[in-house]
Amino acid sequence: MNIHRRQYLKISAAAIASAWSTGIPAVGDTDSWAGRNLDIPADEVQAVVTAAALSHSRRLATGGDDHRIRIWDLDQGKLERTLKGHQDWIRSVAFAGATEQLISAGHDRQVLAWQANGPERLAKLSSPVSMIRIDHEGRTAAAVEFGGLLHAFDVQARSLRYQVDCQCRDMRCVEFSPDGRTLAAGGRDGRLRVFDAQTGQSLFRAADAGRRIRALAYLDSARIVTGGDDGRLLLWRWEDRAPAVPVTRPLGRIFVMGRVSAETIAFAGSDNLVRIWNAEQQEIVSELTGHTGTIAAMCTGTDTIVTGGFDTTIRIWSKSENVAESNDPTNIRSARRNK
């Protein structure tokens, strides 16, 4: 019997949900996050979600394996429009500051800037694009590709500012520092790289190789957290040129990460859980259940986390002081683990 890929994903997700239906017990007092699913219209494809971005006006952009971008009103929970222009899997979307210019990229090697009348090609790169990010002022977009190159674009001028060979095939993630001065990137060789965001000059490259880095986030300009195939969070104080320090035990493979505050990181991956790690307390302070498949997309805003993945759902997590627990495994469970 032949099984379509999406049918296989749903069967797999159901099996995983059964295995995790007991949830995780809550221990101690901690911040709580209430989770809900976005309602996907019945006439829309149930797409695997691998890209998500949140604008200043709380418009949400998502993309995935059906080659389409969907724009949602996050507060109303309604789909506003669907954008077509990519020819393959969409891996990343980003909004450009207050202008809310949307830029997307993916396996078709295109970097597209979206206008009211459709997409404008910003570039076509030499290999699939794994991630694109835009600085907080909305002026510079940075993209990394599987072939090992990092590209920086002037968003307004629609031009290439610089290109850097990271000397690592399969680059997976890139991120601007909160102050916009530096740019961090990681990939297959497990080495964190930090560049001057204006010039592309190398400022730091980890001496020792490790397991593949798939996700990273800045806490502040001096501290970067990474995660990937070894399932641990690593904390880097890159200005000290010190080796990374593991700050969690090995968990499932980490695919996505986002900065929630100057001391807090959200991350998720292959074990279907969203975890909140606090740098000051040096521990995971919350574990959020609800997904039934690998989590492959995340974006963060003020008191909001959005996640999506291979279960074809999009979940909105909102921070609240008091959230009642439930036996329903699609609800939030907050937990503080003993170190």
pLDDT at 123: 96
CA-CA distance, 113 to 327, in Å (whole number)?
A: 44
Among candidate residues 325, 329, 297, the one with its CA nearest the CA of residue 312: 297
* pLDDT confidence bin for 8, thresholds 50/70/90: very low
Per 3-state DSSP, the chain is made up of helix, strand and coil in percentages (nearest 5) of 5, 50, 45
Q: Classify burial at 277, counting beta carbons within 10 Å of its beta carbon; exposed 0-12, middle 13-18, buried 19 or more.
A: buried
Q: How many C-beta atoms surround the C-beta of residue 2 within 10 A?
A: 4
Q: Which two tokens stand for residue 308?
A: 């999506």
Residue 290 and residue 17 in contact, taking contact as beta carbons nearer than 8 Å:
no
Q: Which two tokens stand for residue 55?
A: 């604008």
User: What is the residue whose two structure tokens read 């077509």?
Assistant: 84
* pLDDT confidence bin for 117, thresholds 50/70/90: confident
Side by side, the strands of the sheet bearing 90-96 are: 90-96, 101-106, 110-115, 118-124
- Domains, the chain, ranges and CATH? 5-320 (2.130.10.10)
Residue 16 has pLDDT above 70, yes or no: no
Q: Which two tokens stand for residue 138?
A: 């909305």
**Tens digits of residue pLDDT in 258-268:** 999 999 999 99
